[in-house]
Structure 1
Amino acid sequence: MSAHVMTVAQIREAEGVAMASVSEDTLMARAADAVAAEAEMMLADARGRLAGARVAVMVGAGNNGGDALLAAARLQHRGCRVTAVMVADRSHERSRLEALDAGVTTVDATDYPHIAQMAVERADLVIDGIVGIGSSPGLRSPADALVASVGADTPVLAVDIPSGLDADSGAADATHVRADATVTFTALKACLVEEPARASTGRVIVADVGVPRR
């Protein structure tokens, strides 16, 4: 695992440099490939196979949720039964359409909280794509209730950082996701290496998506 740590500001600057020659869609596709690959490994460890595995993807409004939706599409194509649980009133549109085209089921956690919670409770794997590195610490409704409903033995995979943590800090006093693994992009963030936040990240995989490290 890379020991290089970058701040949110450094990541944003580096992404700006990368997008001068690589499209945002390409970067997101690479991120989704990395998330889907780790999800496959976790499901293989937990169930021995992908076919029929129930995956609940908690999806927020930003690009983090977009990455998760693209990963959901990939897992659906590979035989999983994926439900995208939408925790915001909007989502990354292109990623949502790709997930729908792949056959991913979507449920609005605000309008249908019981169905959303059931999808999370019954999942063989939960993917956390609620918020990313630019978010404030803590989780709001309905995300907080969904996170609380994850089964004690259900593996959780976080996209970039566990939602609810402060990317630039080791603090962990706000409501947040506790992951068994985290696929982070480009470089480590402070919350992935500093305690007590580090205890909630699980195994950390640094995926190179084509953004230069600073």
Structure 2
Amino acid sequence: MLCLTRQQARSLDRLASEIHGLAGCVLMENAGLLAALEIERLYHASAAAPQAPVIVFCGGGNNGGDGFVIARQLQARSVPVIVECTHEVHGQRGDARVNHQCAQTLGIPIHRIDLSDDAKAHRDRWPDAALFVDALLGTGFGGPMRAPLAQLIMAINGARAEAGTPTVAIDLPSGLDCDGGHPAEPTIVADQTLTFVAEKAGFGSSQAHPFLGQVTVLPIGVSAARVLGEDLS
């Protein structure tokens, strides 16, 4: 089975653009669209109350950019959605910033998370969520978890445990090491992980299994074997 390391995942994005002419915004759109379609299916299969929103948690990097695409695609499919983000739009770069701005323009409800809040204050904002979508941290994360973000992750995990709110991780659960599968303290506990192109190298670790849930690999319109070639060896 093909599994990608952190460096291979980074190289895939770069080489797809530099050598194959596939812009990063296209890869992000493909990733967000395929993830949104799966989340829409999960939403309609859930026992959530009518109009209960999907809460998408967006970090400041490309994983957060994927989250903003997901939110936009869900809105386009009449799925109620709210974004909770860790960064203002001016604190982001590149494709993530573009998709944050687009979500703002479309009137998607966006709440800037106060990372000084404790876990309870975070959790009190999401009493009726249908699903949580974790797009906080991607393959570039390498622990330890910063204290302010740790409170947010504990709040998401707490709401999942107490209210039974299903959690979907985008690419990998925030806090999980891409290469070794080591979980930071804390790490998002996902019911489903939607990972792009291929599973990540750390997914085979026994330490990772309690955090991944069901793993689904989604294509983003580029072949890792074709783009990376010998770099996969």
Give the structure-2-normalised TM-score: 0.82
Contact 1:139/1:163 (8 A) holds in 2: no
Report whether the alignment pairs 1:118 with 2:124: yes
Aligned to 2:28: 28
Q: Which among 129, 140, 143 is matched to residue 134 of structure 1?
A: 140
Residues of 2 paired with 1:70 and 1:112: CA distance? 27
Residues of 1 paired with 2:147 and 2:38: CA distance? 28
Post-superposition shift, 1:191? 2.6
Q: How does 1:157-196 map to 2 (within 5 A)?
A: 157-196=168-207
Equivalent position SS for 2:25 = helix
- Structure 1 gap segments, 5+ residues each: none
Report whether the alignment pairs 1:55 with 2:61: no
Post-superposition shift, 1:173? 4.9
Contact 2:122/2:155 (8 A) holds in 1: no
Report whether the alignment pairs 1:16 with 2:22: no
Residues of 1 paired with 2:84 and 2:148: CA distance? 10
Equivalent position SS for 1:84 = strand
Aligned to 2:213: 202
Report whether the alignment pairs 1:98 with 2:96: no
Equivalent position SS for 1:174 = coil
Post-superposition shift, 1:84? 1.1
Q: Which amino acid aligns with 1:106?
A: I
Equivalent position SS for 2:78 = coil
Q: How does 1:133-152 map to 2 (within 5 A)?
A: 133-150=139-156, 151=159, 152=161
CA spacing shift, 1:163–1:111, aligned 2, 3 Å: closer
Post-superposition shift, 1:116? 4.9
Residues of 1 paired with 2:147 and 2:109: CA distance? 21
Residues of 2 paired with 1:202 and 1:111: CA distance? 27
Q: Which amino acid aligns with 1:9?
A: Q
Post-superposition shift, 1:192? 2.1
Q: Deviations over 1:40-80 (max 9, x none)?
A: 1211221379x623111111110000000110111122222
Residues of 2 paired with 1:212 and 1:106: CA distance? 34
Q: Deviations over 1:70-127 (max 9, x none)?
A: 1011112222222211123534211111212332111111279487543444311111
CA spacing shift, 1:76–1:143, aligned 2, 3 Å: farther
Equivalent position SS for 2:168 = strand
Misfit runs of 4+, over 6 Å = none
Q: Which amino acid aligns with 1:26?
A: V
Equivalent position SS for 2:124 = helix
Q: Deviations over 1:134-183 (max 9, x none)?
A: 11224334432222223221010111110001100122253110101111
Q: Percent identity?
A: 29
Q: Which amino acid aligns with 2:102?
A: E
Residues of 2 paired with 1:8 and 1:111: CA distance? 27
Equivalent position SS for 1:47 = coil
- Structure 2 gap segments, 5+ residues each: 225-231
Aligned to 1:85: 84
How many residue pairs align between the two structures?
A: 211
Q: Which moved more, 1:143-152 or 1:37-46?
A: 143-152
Contact 2:115/2:149 (8 A) holds in 1: no
Aligned to 2:5: 7
Aligned to 2:45: 45
Give the structure-1-normalised TM-score: 0.88
Contact 1:42/1:155 (8 A) holds in 2: no
CA spacing shift, 1:204–1:17, aligned 2, 3 Å: same
